[in-house]
Amino acid sequence: MANSPASAAAKVDDSRFVRIDRLTKRFDEVAAVDDVSLDIEKGEIFALLGSSGCGKSTLLRMLAGFETPSVGSIYLEGNDIAKMPPYERPINMMFQSYALFPHLTVWENIAFGLKRDNMPTDQIAERVETMLNIVKLKPYAKRKPHQLSGGQQQRVALARCLAKSPKLLLLDEPLGALDRKLREQTQFELHNIIKKVGVTCVLVTHDQEEAMTMADRIAVMSEGRFKQVGKPNEIYETPSCRFVADFIGNVNMFGGTLEVDQPDHCVIDTMHGKFYLDHGITGTQDMPVSVAVRPEKINLQRDPPADPQYNCLRGEIADSGYFGSFSLYRMNLASGMKLQIQITHTERHGELFQRGETVFATCAPDSLVALTT
């Protein structure tokens, strides 16, 4: 009985807390979100990362119910909610502008959603109290939003969303309205609160650092589509395409062709030199492939390496910047390309390279990524 197909199917659905199935939203025939599918697990913090206009807000607003999908469905715990109005969804959203009600006090703002649920007064008071404690705003309960600083307003907005114990919390650029200094501090606070409450959360941001530090998984978006979905380190270390490699962090990219392709290694020939990678790619001989390497994965040395055939680039230091814990160099290659290199200073009196010096840049076979798309 327990192994009947029906109960097995139900079980699969439950494990996918939120399921977005082939979702498309068109505005006047232009697809802002284009055939996007995604599963989000319970308790996960998921970030939608992308540049301006890539459709991340539109996707979030479809989850909240402010936009109706042109095609596709959204399942929450197995129920299709795509056609449900926002006021019936067990989902709450924190707006980029916070959207605090200016005519209500902090206390009333937080109680607003609870009153709509006809919660008994004493329970409302208790719940608001709890929320005020979580966001550490108890002394400010009687203030109006304009009497609060930006960071405090953000916390009120968060408390107001969390007060209703939503199944899914949506954050649209949660730190976008704060100044830089406040951002870093708030980022960790926000992360801690969400994890403490244990709510599943989808957040939208165009700031990759914010996405990396806050999220368990990230979707990199471009022109309404997902380019890659994965853990922050996966996205950084094994980007799936040129767009993602370029979008996240700094990268040096060399265009070339596939020369040797074996299961355990491959060689890519570029105009800058040949690269030996410790993994194979399933491609055809001479197909165009790019090699990507992060600036911090490159080593610099003055003497030519023992085996200069692979993964070795000769050039001249064009610029250098000393940042204390690390130095940034830019190196002119013979091919005309500029290479970015970041050297971490692990020793107090490690060597520094001067502008105009001729040096060799090397990198390990496992630090290179081959990109075919």
Partner 1 sequence: MESRIGKFWLGAGYVFLYLPILTLIVFSFNDSKMVTLWGGFTFKWYGVIAHDTEVVDGFLLSLKVALMTASASVCLGMLAAFAMVRYKSFFGRTAFSAHINAPLVVPEVITGLSLLLFFVLCQRLFGMPERGVFTIWAGHTSVGMAYAAVVIQSRLLEMDKSLEEAAMDLGCRPFQVFYLVTFPMIAQALMSAWLLTFTISLDDVVATAFLSGPGSTTLPIVILSRARLGLNPTVNAIATITVAVVAVGVLAGSLWLNRQERKRAAEQAAAYREGTLALAS
In the complex, the residues that contact partner 1 under the rule CB under 8 A are 64-66, 85-87, 91-93, 95-97, 99, 101-103, 112-113, 116-117, 143-144, 146-152, 160, 164, 181-182, 185
Q: Taking the C-alpha atoms of 186, 189, 191 and 196 in order, what is their torsion angle to the nearest 10 degrees?
A: -160
- 53 or 78, CB closer to Mg ion? 53
* Minimum gap (Å) between residue 247 Cβ and partner 1: 27
DSSP state letter for 278: S
**Measuring CA to CA, how many Å separate 298 from each of 252, 331, 347?**
10, 12, 17
Rule CB under 5 A: say whether 57 interacts with Mg ion: yes
Phi/psi at 40 (5° precision): -125, 135
- 176 or 280, CB closer to Mg ion? 176
d(C-alpha 61, C-alpha 64), whole Å: 5
The first and second tokens of residue 139, run together, are 């002394």
Sequence-ordered list of residues with C-beta below 8 angstroms from that of 187, at least 6 positions apart, any chain:
175, 210, 213, 214
- 110 or 291, CB closer to partner 1? 110
Quick one: what does residue 148 bind among ligand ATP, Mg ion, partner 1, none, with the CB cut-off 5 to 8 Å set by partner type? partner 1
- 57 or 200, CB closer to Mg ion? 57
Size of the site for ligand ATP (CB under 6 A): 11
Closest to 131 in 3D by CA, of 166, 99, 104 = 166
- 204 or 313, CB closer to ligand ATP? 204
* Minimum gap (Å) between residue 218 Cβ and ligand ATP: 14
The first and second tokens of residue 182, run together, are 């406040």
Quick one: what does residue 165 bind among ligand ATP, partner 1, Mg ion, none, with the CB cut-off 5 to 8 Å set by partner type? none
On the 0-12 / 13-18 / 19+ scale of CB atoms within 10 A, 87 is exposed
* Minimum gap (Å) between residue 290 Cβ and ligand ATP: 26
* Minimum gap (Å) between residue 112 Cβ and ligand ATP: 25
Residue nearest to Mg ion (CB): 57
Q: Count CB neighbours of 331 within 10 A.
A: 26
- 45 or 54, CB closer to ligand ATP? 54
What is the per-residue binding string for ligand ATP in 24-63, x denoting contact by CB under 6 A?
---x----x-----------------x-xxxxxxx-----
* Minimum gap (Å) between residue 64 Cβ and partner 1: 6
Closest to 177 in 3D by CA, of 94, 120, 113 = 94
Q: Which of residues 158-197 bind ligand ATP (CB under 6 A)?
A: none
Closest to 362 in 3D by CA, of 280, 279, 274 = 274
d(C-alpha 276, C-alpha 274), whole Å: 7
* Minimum gap (Å) between residue 334 Cβ and ligand ATP: 40
Residue nearest to ligand ATP (CB): 57
What is the binding site for Mg ion (CB under 5 A)?
57
